[in-house]
Structure 1
């Protein structure tokens, strides 16, 4: 079952896709943060696939403060200066504080759905810029979020005082990080910093570099989509959720 929904947040109204298994029952909740291209058909399809595994999935438009989905019309080339400038404007409102507020509002919405098993832990998944958002949400809701997945996540480790990896001591969710080969080549120490942060917090985390895949490989409409590696990453997510969302 899939439907478009609107969620009231402290900052406005977020448009999103809510998808859950057919039939009677209650299932664990999973919040999905899309990549920089935002909520679109391919993420609706991914949400439907995940719902088919027994989860109530909410795929959000993280740019709702600026515009409704689809955020970009037609093909987008972020290497073009004007396009990158437009993306930076869209991202400005997405501070760690606003993402944390959003995460709380989105989980409250999910927990208000009769099809959600609110006794089970919730999951978060993020792609590209959504990877950091999973950490921000998991830190804001440590008692609610039990598992997180980041695929070709960007900006997980920075030199700034608001680097997402610094939130790990507040996180109780088990994690899986799938790292693109070109991201790792640019920042080879990032995975080590993440590993150390989770180890120090005594929170389970697996971090893998997909040596044959480039940034964006998990998303079917990406020009660098790598189906075998995307399926492997999908399997890792399902295994983690099955173990942790209880």
Structure 2
């Protein structure tokens, strides 16, 4: 996963919103609904209904962005963002997924400390001390906290129009959100698929390591960045062995792109490999949910 040295390098390169918040974003989400919409009330654009929501959770009021196809019920997806948290790039990714027929909740993982968006984009995060700001928030996000949040979020979302409660639930996460997906599946029986993209910490020494919490009846999509694999080449093998031992269905692949390649506002964004990972995500959800 990204570390402080990576962020320092990106900030030194003087990343700007114009550099990858404009060009890359436009390329990555050209097919999505209009940008810049965030409201407490329902707003409908291009057949999608979206709003900012908040509800009671173990750590206080959990907030996030909820978007789903209008006038129908769809399978639920719990979306865990990367270290930069909720921002327009993540809302656009959620809209894209909703356009493919899913009810998507982008969680604010930092709700115990702060509400809503904290950084405009990844350039803002990298250049404005994002690592120092987010590090104490992240330290509270262990397996127990994330599992409690996943239970609370899915229970509340199941009460909302637009969610098909007869279908299985999916969850996807990026960077630090990767392990959150596996923990979420372990906590919520109706969750049937976890997709981790350039996720960090999937194999750890602790008993709550994600690779020790796999479910036999769930599907796992583990998409690994090539530079992350170079740092921990044994992790994919250990995860595969754990999945085989559990009888869990797991697709584990190292992609020809660097950490962050799936996220349109990240410096490593790679549209071709991001589209390939997206296709595998849709295939996983189509089979599992």
Q: Normalising to structure 2: TM-score of the pair? A: 0.79
Cα distance, 1:69 vs. partner? 2.2
Unaligned runs of 5+ in 2: 1-48
Corresponding residue to 1:162 among 190, 197, 208: 208
CA-atom RMSD in angstroms: 1.5
CA distance in 1, matches of 2:120, 2:113: 15
The answer on whether the counterparts of 2:87 and 2:119 sit within 8 Å (CA) in structure 1 is no
1:41 aligns with 2:88: yes
The answer on whether the counterparts of 1:20 and 1:57 sit within 8 Å (CA) in structure 2 is yes
CA distance in 2, matches of 1:85, 1:241: 35
CA distance in 2, matches of 1:49, 1:33: 15
Q: Secondary structure at the match of 1:76?
A: helix
The answer on whether the counterparts of 1:134 and 1:148 sit within 8 Å (CA) in structure 2 is yes
Query: What is the aligned partner in structure 2 of residue 230 from structure 1?
Result: 274
Number of residue-to-residue matches in the alignment: 239
Distance 1:144 1:151, change over 3 A: same
The answer on whether the counterparts of 1:3 and 1:19 sit within 8 Å (CA) in structure 2 is yes
1:179 aligns with 2:224: yes
Cα deviations by residue, 1:53-98 (Å, 9 ceiling, x for unpaired): 11100001000111112123561228x9x64333220112112111
Corresponding residue to 2:179 among 132, 135, 139: 132
Unaligned runs of 5+ in 1: none
The answer on whether the counterparts of 1:145 and 1:172 sit within 8 Å (CA) in structure 2 is no
Q: What pairs up with 1:85-234 in 2 under 5 angstroms?
A: 85-141=132-188, 143-168=189-214, 170=215, 172-211=217-256, 213-234=257-278
CA distance in 1, matches of 2:66, 2:202: 27
CA distance in 2, matches of 1:13, 1:21: 25
Cα deviations by residue, 1:9-46 (Å, 9 ceiling, x for unpaired): 02200110010012x22110001000000011110010
> Larger C-alpha radius of gyration, 1 or 2?
2
Cα deviations by residue, 1:124-166 (Å, 9 ceiling, x for unpaired): 000000000001110011x210111000001111123332211
Cα deviations by residue, 1:175-204 (Å, 9 ceiling, x for unpaired): 111100000000001001111111111110
1:76 aligns with 2:125: yes
CA distance in 2, matches of 1:48, 1:86: 28
The answer on whether the counterparts of 2:216 and 2:249 sit within 8 Å (CA) in structure 1 is no
The answer on whether the counterparts of 2:73 and 2:163 sit within 8 Å (CA) in structure 1 is yes
The answer on whether the counterparts of 1:180 and 1:209 sit within 8 Å (CA) in structure 2 is yes
Q: Secondary structure at the match of 2:224?
A: strand
After superposing the two structures, state which structure 1 stretch, 222-231 or 158-167, moved more.
Answer: 158-167
The answer on whether the counterparts of 1:31 and 1:57 sit within 8 Å (CA) in structure 2 is yes
Q: Normalising to structure 1: TM-score of the pair? A: 0.93
Query: What is the aligned partner in structure 1 of residue 11 from structure 2?
Result: none
Q: Secondary structure at the match of 1:88?
A: helix
